Amino acid sequence: MAEALVSIALEQLAPFILQQARGGISLIVGSKQEVEKLQSNFRAIQAVLADAENRQVKENTVRDWLDKLKDVSYDIDDVLDEWNTKFLKLQIKRAKHASKPLKKVCSLVLRYLSCKPLVMRYEIAVNIKDLRRKLDIIVMERERFQFRTIVEGSKEVERPMTTSFIDLKEVRGRDNDRNSLVDLLLSQSSHQPALPIISIVGMGGIGKTTLARLVFNDNKVNTHFDKKIWVCVSEPFDELRIAKAILESLTSSPSQLVELETVMQSIRRKIEGKKFLLVLDDVWTENSENWENLKHTLNCGSLESRILVTTRKENVANAVGTTNIISLGILPEKECWSLFCQLAFSGKTYREFEEIGKKIVKKCKGLPLAVKTLGSLLRFKRKFEEWESILNSEIWELKEVEQKIFPPLLFSYYDLSSILKKCFSYCAIFPKDYEIQKDVLIKLWMAQGYLRSEANKDMELVGEEYFETLAMRSFFQDFQKEEYDIDIHSCKMHDIVHDFAQFLTQNECYTIEVDGRGEIELESSYVKVRHSMIKIQGGASFPSSIYTRNTFLRSLVVDCNYDPDLKIVLSKLIDQFTCLRSLSLCMCSIEEIPVEIKKLIHLRYLDLSWNENIKELPETLCGLYNLQTLEISGCENIKKLPQGIGNLINLRHLLKSGIDSISYMPKSLERLTGLRTLERFVISEGNYGSEECCVECLKNFKHLRVFGIKALGNLRDVDEVKGIELNNKKNLRALHADFEGRMNEEQNQQLLEELQPHPNLEILGLQNYSGNTISPNWMMSLTKLRSLFIWDCVNCEHLPRLGKLSALEILWMEGMKSVKRVGNEFLGIESDATPSSSSIIAFPKLKFLCFWDMKEWEEWNYGSPKRGDEDIPVMPSLQTLKLVSCPKLKSLPDHLHQMTALKKEIYDCPLLQRTENP
């Protein structure tokens, strides 16, 4: 981790020196030499950091030395970032008003910096001198450790051709345990206790949670129990948090209750007389008194209810009153080898590695997590010496340090590049069992400076690759997709992996859970906390309950548990944490963004989403010149964006989905040509004149990857849409077009034709289109289109001919209220298809198909589409069919009945439900 911080500091120092040289700036006499000395010291330290990182696991003194180095690295980053921000501010100010070329403006700025803000230049110079002295001491201390200089080669990862990560679909060697556990959950006996408790006991990494998840999702279990509840307990045991988690699972909505007794009463009402299965995963407490209130409440369920506990300790199983223990043993060697081969060899045969591979597998001692971790690592090693190095490493001899060191994880961790180590260790900010959103994680990495553009790849794409690399190395698991999404949405970390990340970041990353009964303490021992997540359980006063002397926090993520009574006074927060790079306050009931927001000059990531009471964004927010992401989704009372938003020249993601209240785009938005995400560009009804951003300016937004445009029908002329030049935006991957406005049906059809995107498009959404057909000439050219969403196109009488879209995986059709019949035309197949059409498959890759709110739809029948004398395959890859609110639909096509593995979700379709479920 220190390696990454030193690299970031060196990257900041180089342009700082160059900036002064080119502009003739001298902070104060001797400052240039101070900066060069800093640079020299960092380079000297950088040479031995690989050895220091390796030794910190066993040597606390080395860890202490690295902690001091990290502190100085963070501080120098803050000082240089402050300088660069003020320099940028002056550039923007001069360029905005000057008629001279930018080069001359920059010269004026440099002269201004040299002559005017003497106090600012003096303060920064003093800080640099102080930090140089601290670094001198660290360099001298380095000598007593006698670190070795390790020259490391490139750590590029070989990427698989077919998948970007490994997510095992099969669990090996647990069939007997699974069958026994299912039998215990479903069994009935007149002699059983009131509420049977079954415990899965086994060491960390043995597969307890995996086994519990297997039976939790078992078909027999699903049909047997009325209610299923899953709660991750972990440490510390918090009775209120666990009770609220149970209630939220039962109600499928956040709980606003704050008193334990009230929560318990609500649980009782929900489960009384019902058969429920409650899984309490990762339990540690050995104090039986912690369970009394909960057990008493849960006893009101049916006699067939069950509690399933997973724990590493048999004492815990006894403390909770276990009636049956399943002691999970190690995985048989044969199954370990099978799992290892799947990961390490990717289904190929490498005879030369077989013997040494089996020796490495033996070292894993039957632990599935160990096998999975090493198999994932060795998948990218094709030199015998690399395998031999792992087999003979002294890491195997390390004793566990507070059960947080796991040798296979150390192998994988040491094999990462310095930046990837930092990206992984940053995940310690999240609590155990936390659902980590991939896109948010990448933006947080970016805000901390861990991502750099590489070889014509945006930082976001680099972040995607980093995430996939960590996933391939088994640092992430439990990958989740939305049912209508094609990409990974979120993941989790195994609890041992999480323990390992926290070990690496002792006192640097902090997760704090607050229940309103005490102060929040953000200071720990002698190392400054840099990254923190605060989970607030109902009723906590925030941030007035914060007590801290630490003003160096760089990440703050607040999880308010959807508590509407919580009122965050943001101005108090800002005053304390002026070094923040990322601030997430989603759903925190914020009512106002104070003008003091301008103090957060280092801020790169700001998430204010779903704070519905925010009515406006202050103009001072536009002074956050480093801001990369502004997330305001769901802030539905914001009426307009600030006029000065164009000053945020580093902004890359302006996310505004879920905001229908904004009626126009301010003129200065035209300057944000670096945007990668602009989810809602609003075309007004023409009432804002010179204050409004013109549509034509969008042609300059060449980097857009996600773009949404609202109220296309308000354009003055159809030809205006040509000015956006979507067909030239080769980076565009997702497009959402809303045709709401004053244009008629014929004009809508012309708009759709002129909207032609680049063929690289992967996701397309069309909404409020009033034409009677959806058949633009460019539709079939979208050979990479994977998801298509069509909403509220109420005049369309026929579905578009989509069956030939070769890459389409997800199709969602909603609100097509004029459609009465769906036939062969939907498949994109001519009624007289001939043998020459030998390659025809209708919807070859479609996996998810949804029809929703189709009020007039009566008939769905393809007949028997043929290719000569042979049937044409239709939707051979379909996995899920969802039908909602189609009251007149009578039956499904025959071929869907023949797909026995097809998952059908049918709601509010009375005629169809009668035939499908007689």
DSSP-derived 3-state class of residue 658: coil
DSSP character string of 41-66: HHHHHHTTHHHHHHHTTT-HHHHHHH
DSSP-derived 3-state class of residue 791: strand
Angle between helices 239-251 and 260-271 (to 10 degrees): 40
- At 514 the pLDDT is 66
Beta carbons of 427 and 434 less than 8 angstroms apart: no
pLDDT band at 327 (very low <50, low <70, confident <90, very high): very high
Angle formed at CA 842 by CA 838 and CA 848, multiple of 5 degrees:
150
As a whole number of angstroms, the longest Cα–Cα distance in the chain is 91
**Per mean pLDDT, which range of 132-136, 567-571, 894-898 is the poorest?**
567-571
Residue owning tokens 């699974």: 178
Identify the DSSP state of 765.
E
pLDDT band at 86 (very low <50, low <70, confident <90, very high): confident
Per-residue tokens: 837: 């059409």
Residue 779 has pLDDT above 60, yes or no: yes
DSSP-derived 3-state class of residue 789: strand
Residue 400 has pLDDT above 80, yes or no: no
Exposed e or buried b per residue across 66-92, where buried means at least 16 C-beta atoms within 10 angstroms of its C-beta:
bbbbbbbbbbbbbbbbbbbbbbbebbb
- At 119 the pLDDT is 58
CA atoms of 91 and 84, how far apart (whole Å): 10
Instruction: Compute the average pLDDT of residues 288-299.
Output: 85
Beta carbons of 623 and 650 less than 8 angstroms apart: no
- At 373 the pLDDT is 93
- At 569 the pLDDT is 67
Strand-pairing partners, residue 707, are 678, 735
CA atoms of 580 and 201, how far apart (whole Å): 42
Residue owning tokens 């209750």: 257
DSSP-derived 3-state class of residue 481: coil
CA 694 to centroid of chain Cα atoms: 33
CA atoms of 56 and 52, how far apart (whole Å): 6
Q: Which amino acid is at 372?
A: K
Q: How far apart are the first and last CA of the chain?
A: 62
Residue 168, burial from CB neighbour count under 10 angstroms (0-12, 13-18, 19+): middle
**Per mean pLDDT, which range of 140-149, 634-643, 827-836 is the poorest?**
827-836
Residue 39 has pLDDT above 90, yes or no: no
CA atoms of 424 and 436, how far apart (whole Å): 12
CA atoms of 27 and 657, how far apart (whole Å): 45
**CATH 3.40.50.300 occupies which residues in the chain?**
175-327
Higher pLDDT, 67 or 889: 889
Beta carbons of 261 and 240 less than 8 angstroms apart: no
Per-residue tokens: 29: 């006499």
Strand-pairing partners, residue 198, are 308, 324
Per-residue tokens: 54: 């390796």
- At 162 the pLDDT is 35
pTM over 0.85: yes
- At 523 the pLDDT is 47
**Per mean pLDDT, which range of 39-43, 409-413, 512-516, 669-673 is the poorest?**
512-516
CA atoms of 886 and 815, how far apart (whole Å): 10
- At 488 the pLDDT is 87
Instruction: Compute the average pLDDT of residues 29-52.
Output: 82
CA 288 to centroid of chain Cα atoms: 37
When the candidates are 3.20.20.450, 3.40.50.720, 3.40.50.300, 3.30.70.270, the CATH number that belongs to 175-327 is 3.40.50.300
Residue 510 has pLDDT above 90, yes or no: no
- At 24 the pLDDT is 45
Beta carbons of 430 and 535 less than 8 angstroms apart: no
Instruction: Name the nearest CA neighbour of 411 among 467, 369, 351, 366.
Output: 369
Give me the percent of the chain exceeding a pLDDT of 90: 48
pLDDT band at 865 (very low <50, low <70, confident <90, very high): confident
CA atoms of 855 and 869, how far apart (whole Å): 36
Q: What is the mean pLDDT of the chain?
A: 84
pLDDT band at 33 (very low <50, low <70, confident <90, very high): confident
Residue 869 has pLDDT above 80, yes or no: no
Beta carbons of 495 and 204 less than 8 angstroms apart: yes
Strand-pairing partners, residue 437, are 490
Instruction: Name the nearest CA neighbour of 637 among 606, 607, 670, 659.
Output: 659
Residue 889 has pLDDT above 50, yes or no: yes
- At 563 the pLDDT is 59
Instruction: Compute the average pLDDT of residues 290-303.
Output: 86
- At 47 the pLDDT is 85
CA atoms of 813 and 49, how far apart (whole Å): 56
Per-residue tokens: 818: 């004029």
Instruction: Compute the average pLDDT of residues 785-814.
Output: 95
For residue 95, count other CB atoms closer than 10 A to its CB.
17
Per-residue tokens: 907: 């709601």
pLDDT band at 726 (very low <50, low <70, confident <90, very high): very high
DSSP character string of 835-903: TT-TT--BSTT--EEEEE--TT--EE-----EETTEEPPB-TT--EEEEES-TT-----HHHHT-TT-E
- At 454 the pLDDT is 79
Beta carbons of 537 and 561 less than 8 angstroms apart: yes
CA atoms of 247 and 252, how far apart (whole Å): 8
Residue 834 has pLDDT above 70, yes or no: no
Element (H or E) spanning 280, and its range? strand 276-283
DSSP character string of 187-235: ---TTS-SS-EEEEE--TTSSHHHHHHHHHT-HHHHHH-SEEEEEE--S
Beta carbons of 493 and 406 less than 8 angstroms apart: no
pLDDT band at 600 (very low <50, low <70, confident <90, very high): very high
Identify the DSSP state of 331.
P
pLDDT band at 833 (very low <50, low <70, confident <90, very high): very low
Residue 167 has pLDDT above 60, yes or no: no
Residue owning tokens 């709401």: 740
Residue 495 has pLDDT above 50, yes or no: yes
Instruction: Compute the average pLDDT of residues 169-188.
Output: 84
Angle formed at CA 870 by CA 865 and CA 874, multiple of 5 degrees:
45
What is the C-alpha radius of gyration for the chain, rounded to an integer number of angstroms?
30
Beta carbons of 522 and 544 less than 8 angstroms apart: no
Phi-psi region of 300 (alpha: psi -120 to 50; beta: other; left: phi over 0): alpha
- At 573 the pLDDT is 75
- At 23 the pLDDT is 45
- At 756 the pLDDT is 95
CA atoms of 471 and 168, how far apart (whole Å): 12
Identify the DSSP state of 159.
P
Beta carbons of 314 and 328 less than 8 angstroms apart: no
Residue 490 has pLDDT above 80, yes or no: yes
Beta carbons of 124 and 79 less than 8 angstroms apart: yes
Per residue in 754-778, pLDDT (tens digit) is 999 999 999 999 999 999 999 999 9
Beta carbons of 473 and 373 less than 8 angstroms apart: yes
Residue owning tokens 């000015």: 723
Instruction: Name the nearest CA neighbour of 418 among 142, 160, 152.
Output: 152
Per-residue tokens: 435: 């659902």
Strand-pairing partners, residue 490, are 437, 480
- At 733 the pLDDT is 96
**Per mean pLDDT, which range of 233-237, 315-319, 795-799 is the poorest?**
233-237
Identify the DSSP state of 713.
B
Per residue in 350-386, pLDDT (tens digit) is 788 999 999 999 999 999 999 999 999 998 888 999 9
Instruction: Compute the average pLDDT of residues 626-651.
Output: 94
Exposed e or buried b per residue across 541-580, where buried means at least 16 C-beta atoms within 10 angstroms of its C-beta:
bbbeebebebebbbbbbbbbbbbeebebebeebbebbbbb
Instruction: Compute the average pLDDT of residues 569-581.
Output: 81
Instruction: Name the nearest CA neighbour of 621 among 303, 65, 635.
Output: 635
Counting Cα atoms < 13 Å in the Cβ hemisphere of 414 gives: 24
What is the torsional sign of CA 412, 414, 416, 420?
positive
pLDDT band at 27 (very low <50, low <70, confident <90, very high): low
Element (H or E) spanning 425, and its range? helix 418-426
